Amino acid sequence: MRKRLLVMLTAAAVLLVAAVVRMSPVSAVASDPYAFKNVRIDGGGFVPGIVFNPTERNLIYARTDIGGAYRWSQSTKSWTPLLDWVGWDKWGYNGVISLATDPVQTSRVYAAVGMYTNSWDPNNGAILRSTDKGDTWQVTPLPFKLGGNMPGRGMGEALSVDPNDNRVLYFGAPNGNGLWRSTDYGATWSKVTSFPNAGNYAQDPNDPNGYLSHRPGVVWVTFDKRSSTSGSATRTIYVGVADKENTVYRTTDGGATWSRLAGQPTGYIAHKGVLDTVNGYLYIATSDTGGPYDGGKGDVWRYATATGAWTQISPVPSSSSDDYFGYSGLTIDRRNPGTIMVATQISWWPDVIFFRSTDSGATWTRVWDWTSYPDRSFRYTMNISENPWLTFGTNPQPPEVTPKLGWMTESLEIDPFDSNRMMYGTGATIYGTENLTQWDSGGKFTIRPMARGLEETAVLDLISPPSGAPLISGLGDIAGFRHTDLDAVPPMMFTQPTFTSTTSLDYAEKAPSVMVRAGNFTDADRPNDSHVAFSTDGGANWFQGTEPGGVNEGGTVAAAADGSRFVWAPKGVTPVYSVGYGNSWQTASGLPTDAVVESDRVNPMTFYGLSGGRLYRSTNGGATFTATAATGLPTTGKFKAVPGVEGDLWVAGEGGIWHSTNGGASFTKLSGVTKAVNVGFGKAAPGAAYQAVFAVATIDGVTGLYRSDDGGSSWLRINDDEHQWGNMGEALTGDPRVYGRVYLGTNGRGIIYGDRTGPPITVTPTVSVTPTVSVTPTVSVTPTVSPETGCTATYEPGNSWPGGFQANVRIKNTGTSAISGWKVTWTWPGSQQITNLWGGTPTQSGTSVTVTNAGYNGDVGPGATTSFGFNATGTTTQPTATCTPA
């Protein structure tokens, strides 16, 4: 590839950086066309940057810390993702530390990408450049890492296009790498060696993880367009640095020399630097930390560019005892430049505060004011009808309200073409208004979510049961949802209890309305809540169980095939099992701590665990586990059991995919698969007897999303190079009701679902042909024997508690022929009442109880057994139960 030499005016040494165009991988694996969409949640994560193009109306971009970049579509009032082409090999590119839109050639847009500057991200950062508003990109790798999800990521923008000569861009880099410049539209870059300060601030310089020791470095670049004419590089440029004693620098000779801006305030970091070229003011918003989660003191300053005079214009100065926050989210109304706004960085309690001035900061009004504590008055109303989950299911007491106005608001932007439109980012979504100037006239302006199409969640688990809602999700930071409509925002996240993150989900295969979830929250906030919860109505409502001592994180959890019991492996705690809904837990012996647990999808007494390259199996409902003889499995990985086939297991991990048909006693490694992240199952193809298998895996050298309709003998790649979504696959499942549909979890791009768009597929089953042998029959007379039918019911008491108890009833076919249904009856000795039952259909009249089989467990072969279980009120008892074949 040709490299271009770029000689910089101020560069003592020149660094060559290649401009690399994305190349499509080549694979011999066949493909199947799909259409992909997001399962709608709208938002869900931190939006540190919103960037309006200053010369083209409605051209707006948003950057996220782990979910890529987006472009606004005015016609649909929604966001279009721009970085879905980023694959596993460069997953960190979904961390966008800065974004710049070209004010001259507005089709050009740039992004500085890279997620972590410590060891978590194996790759260096890059500058992405596009000439079609982000529809396609070219990549220039950088010789250092960038931190789109590191401390200080809300400051900026560090990437900026010269408004007079748009060939020129500047970029402020972290961790001692200083200031960089390009003069060829971002294709090649060189360090500006004359820039004197790379920034020394770190939240915790001694952090051994290398996260809090990150130095944000050079954090924003602002051009003074007045200092040059069109076609000539801008001469005056202001640059912000994360250095509490030297936070603003300026050049007046196009970057040849730089100096610390005289008289500047000290003690704080300028998160933002915004220039009013009409009135000649540079505004800075400062905080005592880099954010975005913290900030306890700060100020707002105005610098007169003509005289060099600094004026403190803080709405609440740092010297005041009322200042418990820094400042960020600084913006100017470009149509009325004397109007400016700023946000607190950060005031968790009772809420973020926006300040607005119409006289260049001489006086301010607040978006809300104290009246008589704890009451407040508000200049706004909030309408979250499109995203009602933004209340987070809370019911706070005054002075707090729900939903909150926001938090982590580092980006607050007034539309340069419309004084009434403002957008701002929070830790959960983008909010906005279209009647902002009501603030100035004494009315109330309306704030609504403006996040449609922007999906930024880390997906930790997904289940798609055979009945009820098609998808249940477990998410990081916002718990998870029950999705009854994939294209509509669910009304509320999981509550009762509310998990910060749901780490594991499962449902009972034969009783899919029974579900369980495990997750995390801050224990000190809710010491009486449990890290495990149950549902008996398909996830619509939840109740919590008890938990053993020492549990702080959810780990993984599995439900028996009939919903009668559960096995739970909380993180860092010995695994446990419970008969019923977690009223008590017993130690599961033989299963290592932190094993991944799953249930057999047919046999309710069989559970599995994967740990350290060994597969563990329990055949007594989780009480004891024993390692199977299977070896060669990955030390860490994902595994699942196939619905409808007892003992059928698939394991995905480093090295490939393994398949067992004997309950894990032995495994066969699939050929051609060199690495795998996850597997899942969905409805079988027409004509096929075995479920469709989905995998995020590397097959024939290409990492992608795959489907097999023949049990893994052959694979079809079902994503393409434009749909890779970074580090996808932590969660994966097919849909048991819709052939070909797949649900894919990503780390930052939300939940993706895909449907086939190609021609119909029919799988022709393999037929074994047995040779015909002619035999002369021997004639004998066999007496006719009538098959016997019969069944027994054994009532087994379970756990009990004050006012209630649990029991299990086991049915056995005692006849010589199969039965297709059964009925169990008994009579209570007292006032006991069934409250919920799984594995059958109950009716109760007074003390008489009748239970008939469910749809899936009526067929019982000779000598075979099935069961059902229930919870009831009253005192525990053991009546005599009788069984009658149907």
Give catalytic residues, as residue numbers. Answer: 65, 477
Provide the strand spans (E) within 69-217: 69-73, 78-81, 96-101, 109-113, 126-130, 138-141, 159-161, 169-172, 179-182, 190-191
Half-sphere exposure of 80 (CA within 13 A, CB side): 13
The H or E element that residue 527 is part of is: none
Separation between Cα atoms, residue 420 and residue 876, nearest integer Å: 66
- DSSP single-letter state for residue 67: S
CB neighbourhood size of 222 (10 A):
21
Who contacts 728 (Cβ-Cβ below 8 Å, separation ≥6)? Answer: 88, 677, 696, 705, 744, 745, 746, 747, 749, 752
CA distances to 397, 427, 647 from 408, rounded to whole Å, are 22, 6, 48
Contact 667, 608 (CB under 8 A): no
Nearest to 412 by CA among 333, 313, 341: 341
Separation between Cα atoms, residue 155 and residue 242, nearest integer Å: 9
Read off φ and ψ for residue 93, nearest 5 degrees: -65, -15
Contact 419, 40 (CB under 8 A): no
Amino acid identity, residue 251?
T
CB neighbourhood size of 835 (10 A):
11
Bond preceding residue 163 cis, omega within 30 of 0: no
Nearest to 226 by CA among 181, 171, 274, 280: 280
Contact 305, 280 (CB under 8 A): yes
Separation between Cα atoms, residue 84 and residue 95, nearest integer Å: 12
Nearest to 77 by CA among 454, 427, 473, 507: 454
Nearest to 30 by CA among 764, 762, 766, 758: 758
The β-bridge partners of 182 are 169
Residue for token digits 């400051």? 155
Bond preceding residue 374 cis, omega within 30 of 0: yes
The β-bridge partners of 126 are 113, 141
| Cα torsion through 667, 672, 674, 679, rounded to 10 | -60
Nearest to 725 by CA among 699, 746, 756: 746
Give me the sign of the Cα torsion angle 173, 176, 177, 178: positive
Separation between Cα atoms, residue 270 and residue 239, nearest integer Å: 10
140-160 as b/e, with b when 16 or more CB fall inside 10 Å? bbbeebbbbbbbbbbbbbbbb
401 Rama class: left (phi>0) / alpha (psi -120 to 50) / beta: beta
Separation between Cα atoms, residue 793 and residue 719, nearest integer Å: 51
Nearest to 255 by CA among 165, 142, 130: 165
Nearest to 732 by CA among 485, 421, 539, 464: 464
One-character DSSP codes across 839-869: SEEEEEETTEEEEEE-TTS--B-TT-EEEEE
| Burial status of residue 47 (CB atoms within 10 A of its CB: 0-12, 13-18, 19 or more) | buried
Contact 267, 200 (CB under 8 A): no
Separation between Cα atoms, residue 330 and residue 836, nearest integer Å: 56
